[in-house]
Structure 1
Amino acid sequence: MLHIPLIVNIFISIGTYLMTLRMIPRFKEMFISASLYGKDLCKKTSDKIPESLGVISGCIFLVGLFLFIPIPFSFKEQTTKSNEFPHSEFVELVAALLSICCMILLGFADDVLNLRWRHKLLLPTIATLPILMVYYVNFNSTTIIMPKFIRPLIGHSLNIGVLYYIYMGMLAVFCTNAINILAGINGLEVGQSIVISISILIFNIIEILNNNQISGHLFSIYLITPFLTTSLALWNYNKYPAEIFVGDTFCYFAGMTFAVVGILGHFSKTLLLFFIPQIANFLYSVPQLFHLVPCPRHRLPKYNSETDLLDISSTIFVKNGLGVLGRTCVFLFRYFKLIKWQENKDGTITTNNFTLINFVLHVFGPVHEKILTRMLLGLQVVCTLIAFTIRYPMAKYFYDT
């Protein structure tokens, strides 16, 4: 009986894939008519490309899981209390869908209204409250296991209380925005989300086979499988050359889905291991994100129409016009050769924009957009292998009793 909900979930996920694949072409002209379109700045053509199509995959994902809601409880394995309904698990699933639904709505609002950055930090925090409340009511476990080398000083475990809830709230904010700032070329947002979701799925399967937190990892599989299939259908239209843009809607939808399964699936710390490129991109982007260094509105790579290749995009500033923190960041980045540095005759400095995309171009030189996407997704896969190495072989040296 345990496997029937999983089989149903897989069939529903296949249905959501086919539905997403079929619905997106039908909505393209409707979005353009509603002025939800843009132009691909990394190509010669100036055709109108519909934006925010991530809302289609998000809505189909929700419909699929709404249909799935009664399945796990109808076929739940009988226990000694056979007449007792599993209210806690039911509330988990409903709260998870509520948080994801809120982020799809807020992401679409961002695409339409172009919200400010402070709203992009506040809104995911608010949308996370339902799952934090469910976590508090059902589990309220805020104890973390300490590494072996710290145990003589602190003990085997440490209860950090409310700090753990702050961490989980910040995790949701990070996940939703980390994918959003590592974007700008065809297929990258959806592609990295596909790799991360496959990584989570593999991790869930390994943990179930090891008989660890089976209910939590099954819950994660129930959400990640339809997310993966709808994303694969979306990627079919967003990969190079993109027929659609997914918008901030998809980035918020993907990030909140990952945060939800990490928190309610009880692997929020492991989840961050699958975000190594996103963490690196965030740290590299900090000087511009916090305006320690001038940050242009768009940090997309610069397109060369003659060669059809992408090269680094630049920002220009006066060296003495930066604050102490800005000068420190620039000095460190220049010292470790993480940025391109050019001193101009007028006393200004030209550097590449601080994004992982520009850093790859800084290291390898101009490349075609399709190749650049493959390089970044290849990096995501390599980092996933590193994540599994850290999570399993290396973790034994730090946490085995």
Structure 2
Amino acid sequence: MTFGFQLFAFCVTSLLLTIVVAKSLRSTFTVNLILSSLAFLGAMKLIPSSKSLFLKANCVGIDVNKLNKPQIPESIGLVVACCYFICMGCFLPFPFKESPAGNKEFFYCEYVEMVCGLLSICYMVLLGFVDDILELRWRDKLVLPAIATLPLLLVYHNNGGSTYVSMPSLLRPWFGGAVDLGYFYYLCVSVMGVFCTNAINILSGVNGLEAGQSENRAHYVSLFFMMPFVFVTLALTYYNWFPAEVFVGDTFCYFAGMTFAVAGILGHFTKTLWLFFIPQLLNFIYSVPQLLRLIPCPRHRMPRLDESTGKLINSFTSFKPLELSPSGRFIFNVLKFLRLAKIIDDGSGHVRMSNLTLINFFIYVFGSKREDKVTASLLLLQVMCSFLAIYIRYGISPPIFVVGD
């Protein structure tokens, strides 16, 4: 059975199931769970079926951290994104099929917001696939996600979305309970979309890493976006885990980042979303000297394989410290003094410094490890930071902010 026929069968099955479920169930959460489970099964079936298509189109990547350097299908994030959109397309009418009397305009506004949220995600999937094929420059990667957030931001503005930000208790005597950021709020949200889409892409390079609240109605909307995403990501993780059968590509990184951004914007918990990106924020801050070219940055900064042991070791960038700009030399000296990177001086004025990524820093601190153990350790860090984010949001935040996010 061809990939196209399997995808068509998945669409028809989802549609028929939606019709059956619509007559028997009223709980939108249950409907979302059922369709998400179907999306998981569809992704589990479609991913292996699509591998030959990507190989034939030469959409492949070389797994440089394996001894035999196999060619693996790349951009498989496109397949799980298709499953996600089919699931969401079938689910979308359910939350709004029965509008309470007098609330039709409110339900219509929410419906349009969800549609525009999906449109923004769809834009990023397209741009991610273009990036996989054309290998866009970093300056393009910063601009394009901001453009993709425009439909969502414009609808949010037209629907009278709040631009107020609650203030901590200590600042309320001077600024009041909340501050209206006005149009600056939309700039901040657009920057969040740019960060989310690129942060996952920056913190990647080992098998399985990319793919590894219900207080009010707005939180339910975000839950409806995230549940199908979690299910299709589980299917992708199964095939992307060490040793990887497929690569997720920038397509999935952009898809995942924009999905998080849309959920945070529509759920009105953008500050909480930043807390869940603590590892990505740390990785971004650590990477800034290379991203800004203050320190030489190679095309790929992922760790490399020590073929004698089968373990990952640091990858390096080479340069002469004296040839760096004054700011570059200052940052290099700080990194050297604080021992935040592995630096090897050959005595001739050249140095080799480990690339500034969280993965390389982990290997520098804890030593070389097998690729799957590095992935598991970093995912454990992500889980710990998520619990920390929950504690900050629901343990520390309420007495400081008094009101909700």
Tell me if both proteins adopt one fold, taking TM over 0.5 as the criterion.
Answer: yes
Query: Aligned equivalents of 1:247 and 1:349: distance in 2?
Result: 32
Partner of 1:58: 81
Q: How does 1:89-168 map to 2 (within 5 A)?
A: 89-168=110-189
Shift of 1:224: 0.3
| One-letter amino acid of the structure 2 residue matched with residue 179 of structure 1 | I
- 8 A contact 2:314–2:363 mirrored in 1: yes
Structure 1 counterpart SS, 2:387? helix
Partner of 1:44: 67
Q: How does 1:282-293 map to 2 (within 5 A)?
A: 282-293=284-295
Structure 1 counterpart SS, 2:149? helix
Partner of 2:203: 182
- 8 A contact 2:25–2:31 mirrored in 1: no
Query: Aligned equivalents of 1:135 and 1:84: distance in 2?
Result: 14
Per-residue CA deviations over 1:224-252 (Å, capped at 9, x if unaligned) read 00000000000000000000000000000
Query: Aligned equivalents of 2:332 and 2:276: distance in 1?
Result: 28
The question of 1:21 aligning with 2:44 is answered: yes
The question of 1:70 aligning with 2:93 is answered: yes
Seq. identity, %? 46
Per-residue CA deviations over 1:243-288 (Å, capped at 9, x if unaligned) read 0000000000000000001011101111010000000000000000
Structure 2 counterpart SS, 1:149? helix
Structure 2 counterpart SS, 1:185? coil
Per-residue CA deviations over 1:190-234 (Å, capped at 9, x if unaligned) read 01xxxxxxxxxxxx2xxx2xxx3x211111111100000000000
| One-letter amino acid of the structure 1 residue matched with residue 134 of structure 2 | L
Shift of 1:46: 2.5
Partner of 1:172: 193
Partner of 2:16: none
Q: TM-score, normalised by structure 1?
A: 0.92
Long gaps (5+) in structure 1: 192-203
Long gaps (5+) in structure 2: 1-23
The question of 1:79 aligning with 2:81 is answered: no
Shift of 1:155: 2.1
Shift of 1:345: 2.1
Per-residue CA deviations over 1:98-157 (Å, capped at 9, x if unaligned) read 111111111001101111111111110000001101111123311111111112222222
Shift of 1:80: 3.5
Q: TM-score, normalised by structure 2?
A: 0.91
Query: Aligned equivalents of 1:55 and 1:150: distance in 2?
Result: 46
Shift of 1:306: 0.9
| One-letter amino acid of the structure 2 residue matched with residue 296 of structure 1 | P
Query: Aligned equivalents of 1:65 and 1:140: distance in 2?
Result: 23
Structure 2 counterpart SS, 1:295? coil
2:272 counterpart (270, 273, 281) = 270
Partner of 1:260: 262
Per-residue CA deviations over 1:65-92 (Å, capped at 9, x if unaligned) read 1111211112x3x533277682101101
Shift of 1:340: 1.2
Please tell me the root mean square deviation across aligned C-alpha atoms, in Å.
1.6
2:229 counterpart (210, 220, 227) = 227
Partner of 2:14: none
Q: Which runs of 4+ in 1 moved over 4 A?
A: 82-85
C-alpha spacing 1:261/1:85, structure 2 compared with 1 (3 Å): closer
Partner of 1:196: none
Structure 2 counterpart SS, 1:38? strand
Structure 1 counterpart SS, 2:305? strand
Partner of 1:327: 329
Query: Aligned equivalents of 1:3 and 1:285: distance in 2?
Result: 48
2:315 counterpart (313, 316, 325) = 313
